[in-house]
Amino acid sequence: MKEAEEGWDLVIKPQAKWYQLDLAAIWEYRDLLMLFVKRDFISVYKQTLLGPLWYIIQPALTTLTFTVIFGGIAKISTNGVPPILFYLSGITLWTYFSDCLNRTSNTFISNSGIFGKVYFPRLVAPLSVLVSNLIKLGIQMLLFLGVWTYYLYTGDTLKPCYPYFILIPFLIIVMAGLGLGFGILISSLTTKYRDLTFLVGFGTQLMMYASPIIYPLSTIRKPEYRHILMLNPVTSIIETFKYIFLGNGILNWYALLYSIVFMVILLLVSVIVFNKVEKSFMDTV
């Protein structure tokens, strides 16, 4: 049997090995990945007046809302950081995570038209989502950096930690990995059991409240609450981000390590599941 498989470029069998992740094939399709990104970018903002400006309007309005409701009405402390900057920093990073999660979580269902007709490494589709959201994040970071610079020169409440700026790309990568991991895991499970699709939308919304977006982690005094919050792998990323830019947050290396380990394991599991599902999802979707 072994010899029979030599000399063939492609062997299709009912069950692929679970660890069979063909990264080389994904690399071969990098052009497709970039074209998907371009498609997403063009198609979303064609026939809109403001175009990519919407990328800025969304976090700006959310920040204003949060500032009024949580800062003004509910009077939740921001530890002395200007509320607008505080909320904007959390929202910017959180939006990237939740967008990645939401948009990759229906990979199979929204692409079933293409997937049902042509083969290409299926991971290209969710990976392209990460990249197109990265562009969006870039634009939103510009907004954030603008506001941040304004406060940096007009007040003295900010104590940015410049040497740690080198950590920023890495924080974004972990966020991307978490979003992708959760997303494709959900997308794999929803091909057969659609129930999860109902959960994704409000699930991420609920998760936002379990992340230090509208409150600083340091204001949570009760240890049991804090432990629960630290279980959320996003928590330490956002806190670190705030620590670096605002000088106000908790930088805990163990917590960061936890997030990374969480991400790696999640990615491994989800890619294995994804790989298994992609072989035959057309029969169930």
Binding site for other proteins (CB under 8 A): 4-5, 7-16, 28-29, 31-32, 35-36, 38-39, 42-43, 46-47, 113-120, 192-194, 279-284
The first and second tokens of residue 258, run together, are: 């936890």
Determine how many CB atoms are found less than 10 A away from the CB of residue 64: 13
How far is Cα 159 from Cα 173, in angstroms, rounded to an integer?
24
Residue 20: CB minimum distance to other proteins, A: 12
Helices (H), 13-123: 23-28, 30-45, 54-66, 83-104, 107-110, 112-115
Residue 96: CB minimum distance to other proteins, A: 24
The first and second tokens of residue 61, run together, are: 């309005």
The first and second tokens of residue 72, run together, are: 């003004």
- Comparison of 111 and 252: residue with beta carbon closer to other proteins: 111
Residue 137: CB minimum distance to other proteins, A: 23
Residue 179: CB minimum distance to other proteins, A: 24
Residue 118: CB minimum distance to other proteins, A: 5
- Comparison of 19 and 193: residue with beta carbon closer to other proteins: 193
How far is Cα 133 from Cα 135, in angstroms, rounded to an integer?
5
The first and second tokens of residue 84, run together, are: 């607008």
- Comparison of 3 and 156: residue with beta carbon closer to other proteins: 3
- Comparison of 22 and 206: residue with beta carbon closer to other proteins: 22
How many residues are recorded in the chain? 285
- Comparison of 4 and 166: residue with beta carbon closer to other proteins: 4
How far is Cα 90 from Cα 46, in angstroms, rounded to an integer?
29
How far is Cα 210 from Cα 205, in angstroms, rounded to an integer?
9
- Comparison of 4 and 23: residue with beta carbon closer to other proteins: 4
- Comparison of 37 and 263: residue with beta carbon closer to other proteins: 37
**Is the separation of the CB atoms in 230 and 258 below 8 Å?**
yes
- Comparison of 77 and 110: residue with beta carbon closer to other proteins: 110
Residue 55: CB minimum distance to other proteins, A: 18
Q: Note the Cα 177 to chain centre separation in Å.
A: 7
Determine how many CB atoms are found less than 10 A away from the CB of residue 157: 16
Residue 186: CB minimum distance to other proteins, A: 16
How far is Cα 81 from Cα 156, in angstroms, rounded to an integer?
10
The first and second tokens of residue 174, run together, are: 């972990």
- Residue 82 — φ and ψ, nearest 5°? -55, 125
Residue 189: CB minimum distance to other proteins, A: 12
